[in-house]
Amino acid sequence: MNSSDSPLVLITGGSSGIGQAIAEALVKEDYTVVIIGRNENTLREAADSIQGNVHFKKCDVADRSQVEDVFGWLAQEHRSPDVLVNSAGINVRDRMMANINPNEFDEVMAVNVTGTFNCIHNALPAMRERGKGTIINIVSVAGRRAMLLAGMPYCVSKSAQSTLGTFVNLEEAKNGIKLTNIYPGETNTPLVDQRPVVPPEEKRAAMLQPEDVAASVLSILRLPPRAVVPELILTPPYMMLD
Asked, for residue 184, whether it belongs to a domain, the answer is: yes
Q: Give domain status of residue 186, yes or no.
A: yes
pLDDT digits (tens, 9 = 90+) for 138-163: 999 999 999 999 999 999 999 999 99
CA of residue 29 relative to chain centroid, distance: 19
Determine, yes or no, domain membership for 1: no
66 domain-assigned: yes
Name, in order, each residue with C-beta under 8 angstroms of 143's C-beta and a sequence gap of 6 or more: 155, 158, 159, 161, 162, 181, 183
> What is the DSSP pairing of strand 231-234 with strand 133-138?
unpaired
Domain tally, the chain: 1
178 DSSP β-pair partners: 134
pLDDT at 4 over 80: no
CATH number at residue 85: 3.40.50.720
Chain centroid, CA 136 distance in Å:
7
Domain that holds residue 44: 8-239
- Residue 233 — φ and ψ, nearest 5°? -100, 130
pLDDT of residue 5: 77
Give the DSSP H or E segment for 234: strand 231-234
The stretch 166-184 carries a mean pLDDT of: 98
